[in-house]
């Protein structure tokens, strides 16, 4: 698993939507699993990364904070959730 599996998920090889691929990545490639409520923010962060808008603020789900804030920059979400394999694959 890990980065190779993330690369396979991002490649579209399995015919999954981006949302489903990210969902699988967050549950299979992280321990403990990342809550599914983070799928939408991760997908938004991926799109911001593709646009190279790394500092764009992405809203986080209720109860999730980044440095005490309810939003986080796209780069922080991408780094924390190991989403770099998804950048450029959408």
Domain ranges in the chain are: 3-86
pTM of the entire predicted model: 0.92
Residue-wise pLDDT tens digits, 49-86: 999 999 999 999 999 999 999 999 999 999 999 999 99
Residue-wise pLDDT tens digits, 36-49: 999 999 999 999 99
HEC secondary structure over 3-52: HHHHHHHHHCCCCCCHHHHHHHHHHHCCCCCCCHHHHHHHHHHHHHHHCC
């Amino acid at each position: 698993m890990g980065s190779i599996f993330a690369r396979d998920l991002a490649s579209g090889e399995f015919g999954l939507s981006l949302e489903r691929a990210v969902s699988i990545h967050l549950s299979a490639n992280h321990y403990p699993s990342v809550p599914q409520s983070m799928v939408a923010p991760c997908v938004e962060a991926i799109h911001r990364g593709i646009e190279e808008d790394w500092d764009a603020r992405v809203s986080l789900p209720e109860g999730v904070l980044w440095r005490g804030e309810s939003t986080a920059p796209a780069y922080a979400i991408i780094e924390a959730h190991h989403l770099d394999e998804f950048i450029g694959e959408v």
